[in-house]
């Protein structure tokens, strides 16, 4: 029996490598300056899905909701081995919190359909919330297995998964279809295949095709799109027009949580005592800590 997987992926700012120039003078982060990367645990989720396909057959399709720029990451998914990649993109989706994000993703999944397992990374490094996976599962009425470390086997409609829990592990058996979130240690993402890079480096989303048409004063976007579809280089792109979404549940508007205030964490100078990195300096420090009974 073969199994079809959908993988939820996200392009994120590389928050681990924030340099000084990324900070604006007012202390906020200039998102545009940050390099965008493939969220690490989503990449692991894709690898897990590819391993299921390697073992049992079936398809692996990835879905991202994000700005047009996310097409870079979708091409990477194709290089790794995804059969197809979908971009969900619309200005009306911008500013979404996890609830509004999961709403749109769930609607996109309903539209795309034909799946046994939805994989997602446990969390994205820009927010670390780990909420979108479970919320998408809830919206689709699917069971969920979070913190998955390993898919042990799939038999018929039953999947056996080892997952992490507080202070240990458990092994669960779930009824397909369901949603799985993967943790970092679950798999090592495979490198890009050179042949696939050559094949898909020219894959384009609708927005990219529109841009191309505009730049070349071509009026026939539809024709250009057909050309890409026939060459199997079209990245299906879904907007509010293509999904059965209620606009008021999307984006900032559909988000119950709002950012009220953002403060930079530039600290004032502190009045700590400077200790010289010498034997004398350290002896003095130890004396002080013995005096106030921090030691002993």
| Alpha-carbon distances, residue 216 vs 3, 48, 177, 219, 234 (angstroms) | 42, 41, 45, 9, 19
Quote the CA–CA distance of 254 and 96 in Å, as a whole number.
7
CB of 17 to another protein, least distance (A): 9
Is 23 in a helix, a strand, or coil? Answer: strand
Binding to another protein by CB under 8 A, coded x per residue (else -) over 269-288, reads xx-xxxxxxxx-xxx-xxxx
295 forms part of the interface with another protein (CB under 8 A): yes
CB of 197 to another protein, least distance (A): 28
Structure-token pair, residue 26: 């007012």
Q: Site for another protein (CB under 8 A): which residue of 1, 2, 27, 246?
A: 27
Dmax (CA) for the chain in angstroms is 82
252 forms part of the interface with another protein (CB under 8 A): no
Strand partners, 6: 61, 118
Nearer to another protein, 125 or 213 (CB): 125
35 forms part of the interface with another protein (CB under 8 A): no
128 forms part of the interface with another protein (CB under 8 A): yes
259 forms part of the interface with another protein (CB under 8 A): yes
Nearer to another protein, 153 or 201 (CB): 153
CB of 15 to another protein, least distance (A): 3
CB of 30 to another protein, least distance (A): 10
159-198 binders of another protein (CB under 8 A): 160, 164-175, 178
Nearer to another protein, 166 or 241 (CB): 166
251 forms part of the interface with another protein (CB under 8 A): no
120 forms part of the interface with another protein (CB under 8 A): no
CB of 158 to another protein, least distance (A): 10
Answer for the pair 64, 86: CB distance below 8 angstroms, yes or no: yes
147-166 binders of another protein (CB under 8 A): 147, 160, 164-166
Give the binding range for another protein (CB under 8 A) out of 9-17, 62-70, 110-118, 218-226: 9-17
The 10 Å Cβ neighbour count of residue 294 is 9
- How is 92-150 classified by DSSP, letter by letter? GGTT--HHHHHHHHHHHHHHH---SEEEEES--TTT----HHHHHHHHHT--EEEEEEE
What DSSP designation does 188 have?
P
User: Total residues contacting another protein (rule CB under 8 A)?
Assistant: 80
Quote the CA–CA distance of 100 and 181 in Å, as a whole number.
19
| Alpha-carbon distances, residue 149 vs 8, 10, 146, 197, 272 (angstroms) | 17, 20, 9, 29, 44
Beta strands at 237-238 and 117-121: parallel, antiparallel or unpaired: unpaired
The secondary structure element, H or E, covering residue 158 is strand 158-165
Give the binding range for another protein (CB under 8 A) out of 1-9, 54-62, 86-94, 250-258: 250-258
Nearer to another protein, 5 or 146 (CB): 146
């Amino acid at each position: 029996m073969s199994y079809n997987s959908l993988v939820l992926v996200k392009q994120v700012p590389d928050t681990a490598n924030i340099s000084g120039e990324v900070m604006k003078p007012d202390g906020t982060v200039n998102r545009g300056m940050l390099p965008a990367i493939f969220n690490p645990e989503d990449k692991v989720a894709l690898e897990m899905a590819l391993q299921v396909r390697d073992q049992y057959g079936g398809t692996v399709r990835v879905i991202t909701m994000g700005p047009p720029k996310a097409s870079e990451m979708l091409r990477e998914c194709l290089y790794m081995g995804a059969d197809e990649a979908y971009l969900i993109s619309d200005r009306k989706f911008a500013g979404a919190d996890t609830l509004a994000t999961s709403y749109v993703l769930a609607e996109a999944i309903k539209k795309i359909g034909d799946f046994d397992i939805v994989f997602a990374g446990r969390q994205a490094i820009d927010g670390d919330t780990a909420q979108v996976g479970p919320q998408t599962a809830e919206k689709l009425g699917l069971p969920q297995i979070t913190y998955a470390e390993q898919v042990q086997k799939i038999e018929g409609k039953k999947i056996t998964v080892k997952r992490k829990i507080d202070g240990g592990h458990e092994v669960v058996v779930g009824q397909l279809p369901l949603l799985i979130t993967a943790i970092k240690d679950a798999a090592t993402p495979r490198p890009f295949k050179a042949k696939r890079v050559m094949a898909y480096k020219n894959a384009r989303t609708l927005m990219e095709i529109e841009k191309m048409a505009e730049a070349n004063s071509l009026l026939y976007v539809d024709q250009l799109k057909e050309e890409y579809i026939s060459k199997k280089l079209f990245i299906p792109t879904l907007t509010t027009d293509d999904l059965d979404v209620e606009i008021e549940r999307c984006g900032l508007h559909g988000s119950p949580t709002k950012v009220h205030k953002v403060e930079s964490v530039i600290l004032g100078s502190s009045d700590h005592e400077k200790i010289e990195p010498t034997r004398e300096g350290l002896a003095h420090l130890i004396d002080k800590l013995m005096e106030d009974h921090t030691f002993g």
